[in-house]
Amino acid sequence: AQKVTQAQTEISVVEKEDVTLDCVYETRDTTYYLFWYKQPPSGELVFLIRRNSFDEQNEISGRYSWNFQKSTSSFNFTITASQVVDSAVYFCALSEGAGNQFYFGTGTSLTVIP
Amino acid sequence: ETGVTQTPRHLVMGMTNKKSLKCEQHLGHNAMYWYKQSAKKPLELMFVYSLEERVENNSVPSRFSPECPNSSHLFLHLHTLQPEDSALYLCASSQAADYSYEQYFGPGTRLTVT
């Protein structure tokens, strides 16, 4: 079974629309970390955010916001007023405190149409 | 200098060739990683090095041979590869090989095995 599921393979939105990227994770650990990365066409993954399992506070950074809900094992990412530069593949990832692994989802390809 | 650099950016090699991928990080980190990224699949963690010592080897075939001469440099030596090894190979680094730390990625080497 996949540890991190990003059910949305591809999303297209028109510029200035809001978009939410879903991430569902699976773990039995009580200590774990969740991450989001952005991979633009240039290839390198860019770190966006890290969350530990004890901090369920939502976070906002500019046009980006993250909604962490342990009850549903979800860590969703919302981009408000999307821009063309937001076009990229976005990856959600999980690391477990007891393990020694990083688990990535398959990514969501976001296209923002001008 | 950008945080993590990789060379070459593109590589085409035959199945009988021997080549090496190079990664260098300028962030003062103590841990480095090799990942394989294939289309429609999650990133696969291949190797983890902490202070030049290999701490993780995720059942990677022996035709991939990593080398970490110091904490700033990481190599992946390739020999007798198969066409299914064609992928984007990403190098990353983090402050320590503790999975609470976010990783910083290079732009990757696009490898094609003919």
DSSP, residue by residue, B49-63: EETTEEEEE-S--TT
Average pLDDT over residues B31-35: 94
Q: Which of A24, A37, A45 to mutate to test the interface with B (most CBs of B within 10 A)?
A: A45
- To the nearest whole number, what is the mean pLDDT of chain A? 92
Assign 3-class secondary structure to chain A. Answer: CCCEECCCCEEEEECCCCEEECCEECCCCCCEEEEEEEECCCCCCEEEEEEECCCCCCEEECCEEEEEEHHHCEEEEEECCCCHHHCEEEEEEEEECCCCCEEECCCEEEEEEC
Q: Which residues of B touch A37 (CB under 8 A)?
A: 105
User: φ, ψ for residue A53 (rounded to 5)?
Assistant: -65, -15
**Which pLDDT tens digit goes with each residue over A90-104?**
999 999 876 567 899
Separation CA B60–CA B67 (nearest Å): 14
B45, A46: Cβ pair inside 8 Å? no
Residue B110 has pLDDT above 90, yes or no: yes
Query: For a pLDDT cut of 70, what percent of chain A falls above it?
Result: 96
